[in-house]
Structures are given as C-alpha cells and as structure tokens.
C-alpha cells in the first residue's frame, strides 16, 4: 500500500502525543482484529444501498493481507438492542464486502464462543473473517470487560478503524484495546479522520472558515464555543439563523426560532467579536408561506420576514457574501446545510455553498465536511470528490469538534 506517511498527533491534548498507526506494524503471520464500521443502509431485499463505509475500510484490510496476515472484522449493524435479529445479521453484507475488498469473505454466525474460536484458529494468511453483529450482545454497548476479553482472543493486534463509533465506550471500540497494551493502532481511515480534524482545529492554514447550519443553536453551541478560538470566520445558516436574527431585533415571521436561546445567541456574537472572529449571517432569505416544496415563495430581507412566512433557504445576496468569504479561505469546515435541502425548492443555497467550497478546494484550500445532514447533502449533490475530506462519523465528528477526546481514540493512545 502506498499511503501517505505523516506523523500523527492527537490535537485535543494539551501537548501533542504521537499516535501508532497501521504503518507502524508488519502483519506477516499475524491475525489483526479490526473494528470496522459496517453499519450500512440496507433495502427491503437486504442489498447495501451505500457502500462508502465498506470502501473506506478497504485500505486497512488490504494492508494486513498484503503484509501476509489475516483479518478478523467486527462491526455492528443497526440497533438490535442486545438481541439476535436476523434482519440485522452481517451475513447480508458478506457478498458486497467480498466484492469491494476483492477477497471472498468468510462469515461466522457469532462474535464470541467456541464456534468463533474455531473459525479464527482455522483462518489462514490472506483470509478475512467477518464476525456476527456485535450488538446482538447487550455486553457490547455496556462495555463489559468479559465480553471485550473474549473478543480480544480473536487477534494478535487490535486495529480501530471505525471513526463512526469512536465516541462510544463500547467493548469493541474501547475496552478491548486494554488487552493489547503494546499491539494496538489506528487504521488508515481513523488516522485520516483525526488528521482532517486536526487540520481544521490546530494546523490549518489561515484564514479558517467554519460554516455551521442546521435547525437549532442549542445543538451547535458547544461546537461554536470550542471553535471560536480557532477560526477567523463563522458563517451561520439554516434554521438557527432566525434565533440570531430575532435576538438582534429582526422580524422572523413563522421561521423556526429558539426564543429561550436568544440571549445565548447574543453572547456568542459578543464572544466572537472579542476574539476577532467575523460572524456572517444571511442578509436575505427565500421565504415560504408553508413548509412545503410547492409553497409560495419570495425573497425577503432576513430582518423583515412577514407573519405567516418562514425562511427556508439563504437568499442570493447572502450566497454571494458567503461565496466571497469561502473563496478567501484556506481552511474550511462545513457542518450543516443552509436550507431545507431535502426539498428541491429550498436546496439552491446548500448547492451554492458546495459549489463555492469546490472552487476554493480547487484553488488549494483544505475543506472538511462533517455531520449527518451536510454529509447527506454532499452525497446527494455529488460533492464527495470535490472537497478534501468527507467524514464518515456523525456523532463522533461533532464530539471531536466540541473538543472532546473520544474514548475509542483515547484507548489506542493509552
């Protein structure tokens, strides 16, 4: 594998701590126990409808195989709540995993016990074994020591490559690492995730711009507070716009608004000003007379939204202003859409943001997209290959931006 070899450091510690990655190991004649995130969407016929998480794990799995080792993969799928559920069996994805990895995947219908021990013992170099859904056991989510110890017996080296679950102190993501004191590391995907966040939060070239969208200020407050020391520009869009606008004395009509968070919004603006961060709010919006794709619409001043109307997307002047900021940036974080992009009538603003980030990236800026809705928008409108990095972890990404050290990451460092 020709992978970029960087010195990787965990950015949220008071001082940098170098991390062990998969590049630090040779897996010849070893069995690697790899926590992957194969929690993929399935249709009614159990076909995988989005393979990006499987594709993201491929480089790590191939590194182990090409070294002459074997890979034991463990993951969860869905929320079976500690009970075996055939609809959530990982057996459904074996064919697709085999197709993507290029190796016929072996499967065992459990993740601990004699049957699994035997399957692991028979595994030869160059082979891959996928264990059954970890969450068929309640002990997984409880982080139960005995369950983690049983999992640990399946490998000589532990690799965490599941950023999407790194914020959970589960048996397979955190506790199991205790049983590999000298033989644990980050896979390529998890290392890339950490590096991408580090670029935004610590080492990114200035100016740094964060674009935060979504419905509520309350869901983004800890992120905003944490990034104010790290960004030069903060673009605010989406539904939380109207809490800021109303707090400043504007009329928001029937737009979504957290009245109990208006003082908080003003405090954020005050903190930003004190830290020299420029906050960019929409100046005009596309308003509708109903939350409906076929509603009547009009562009209005963001401070003069009529009663009976609600802002559902950024307006043309706002998008021009945002584009100017984005094109002048060298590091860009995008977390959240600026409109109700799920409806075609109100998707233009989010598409325009994506286009601006695409142009800035082509001009040499580093762009990171993270958080469920913004990732969904990027995929829907075909921006995956037009930004520098799209995070695979929703909650994990958000907690990282809040400045937390994720349990799954801390377990590898410890």
| CATH homologous superfamily of 22-192 | Phosphoglycerate kinase, N-terminal domain (3.40.50.1260)
- Least confident range from 63-67, 354-358, 381-385: namely 381-385
237 is catalytic: no
Each residue of 177-198: pLDDT tens digit? Answer: 999 999 999 999 999 888 888 8
Active-site residue flag, 216: yes
pLDDT tens per residue, range 77-86: 999 999 999 9
Whether residue 237 contacts residue 336, with contact meaning beta carbons closer than 8 Å, is answered with yes
Active site residue 395: yes
Round the average pLDDT of the chain to a whole number and report it.
91
H or E element, residue 128: strand 128-130
Q: Which of 82, 109, 126, 395 is catalytic?
A: 395
The one catalytic residue in 372, 379, 403, 404 is 372
Cα 168 to the center of its chain, rounded Å: 14
3-class DSSP assignment, residue 392: coil
What is residue 342's predicted lDDT score, i.e. its pLDDT? 94
Token reading at 188: 């390529």
User: pLDDT tens, 133-161?
Assistant: 999 999 999 999 999 999 999 999 999 99
**Residue 374 known to bind ligand:** yes
- At 335, list the tokens: 């977390």
| 135 appears as a binding residue in the annotation | yes
- Lowest-pLDDT range, 91-100, 128-137, 397-406? 397-406
**Topology classification of domain 204-382:** Rossmann fold (3.40.50)
Q: How confident is the model at residue 11 (pLDDT cuts 50, 70, 90)?
A: very low
Q: How confident is the model at residue 1 (pLDDT cuts 50, 70, 90)?
A: very low
pLDDT at residue number 4: 37
pLDDT value for 12 = 41
Among the listed ranges 13-22, 261-270, 317-326, 356-365, which one has the minimum average pLDDT value? 13-22
Tens digit of each residue's pLDDT (9 = 90 or more) over 106-118: 999 999 999 999 9
Average pLDDT over residues 272-279: 97
Environment class of 220 (CB within 10 Å of its CB; exposed 0-12, middle 13-18, buried 19+): buried
pLDDT category at 44 given cuts 50, 70, 90 is: very high
In the numeric block, the tokens 């919006």 are attached to: 285
Q: Which of 20, 58, 216, 404 is catalytic?
A: 216
Tell me whether the CATH fold assigned to 22-192 matches the one assigned to 204-382: yes
pTM, two decimals, is 0.82
For 173, the token pair is 């993501």
Q: Is 315 annotated as a binding residue?
A: no
Domain boundaries defined on the chain: 22-192, 204-382
CA distance readout (Å), 75 to 40, 93, 164, 195: 10, 11, 11, 23
């Amino acid at each position: 594998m020709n992978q970029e070899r960087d010195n990787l450091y965990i950015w949220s510690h008071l001082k940098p701590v170098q991390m062990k990655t998969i590049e630090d190991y040779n897996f010849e004649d070893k069995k690697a126990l790899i926590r992957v995130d194969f929690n993929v969407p399935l249709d009614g016929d159990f076909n995988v409808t989005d393979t990006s998480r499987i594709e993201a794990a491929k480089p790590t799995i191939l590194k182990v195989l090409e070294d002459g080792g074997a890979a034991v993969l463990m993951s969860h799928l869905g929320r079976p709540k500690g009970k075996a559920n055939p609809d959530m069996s990982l057996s459904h994805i074996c064919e697709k995993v085999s197709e993507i990895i290029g190796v016929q995947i072996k499967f065992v219908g459990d993740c601990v016990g004699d049957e699994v021990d035997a399957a692991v013992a028979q595994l030869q170099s160059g082979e891959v074994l996928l264990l059954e859904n970890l969450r068929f056991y309640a002990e997984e989510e409880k982080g139960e020591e005995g369950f983690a110890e049983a999992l640990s017996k399946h490998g000589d080296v532990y690799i965490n490559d599941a950023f999407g679950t790194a914020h959970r102190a589960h048996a397979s993501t955190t506790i199991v690492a205790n049983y590999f004191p000298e033989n644990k590391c980050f896979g390529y995907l998890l290392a890339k995730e950490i590096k991408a966040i580090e670029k935004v939060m610590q080492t990114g070239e200035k100016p740094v711009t964060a674009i935060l969208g979504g419905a509520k200020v309350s869901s983004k407050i800890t992120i905003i507070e944490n990034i104010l020391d790290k960004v030069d520009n903060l673009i605010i869009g989406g539904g939380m716009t109207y809490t800021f606008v109303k707090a400043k004395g504007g009329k928001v009509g029937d737009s979504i608004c957290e009245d109990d968070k208006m003082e908080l919004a003003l405090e954020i603006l005050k903190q930003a000003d004190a830290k020299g961060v420029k906050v960019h709010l929409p100046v005009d919006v596309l308003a509708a007379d109903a939350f409906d794709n076929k509603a009547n619409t009009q562009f209005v001043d963001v401070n003069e939204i009529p009663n009976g109307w609600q802002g559902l997307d950024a307006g043309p002047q706002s998008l021009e202003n945002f584009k100017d900021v984005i094109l002048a940036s060298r590091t860009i974080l995008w977390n959240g859409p600026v409109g109700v992009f799920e409806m075609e009538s109100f998707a233009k603003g989010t598409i325009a943001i994506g286009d601006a980030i695409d142009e800035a990236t082509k001009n040499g800026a580093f762009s990171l997209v993270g958080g469920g809705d913004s990732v969904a928008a990027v995929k829907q409108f075909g921006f995956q290959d037009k930004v520098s990095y799209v995070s695979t972890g929703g909650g994990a990404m958000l907690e990282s931006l809040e400045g937390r050290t994720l349990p799954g990451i801390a377990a590898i460092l410890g």
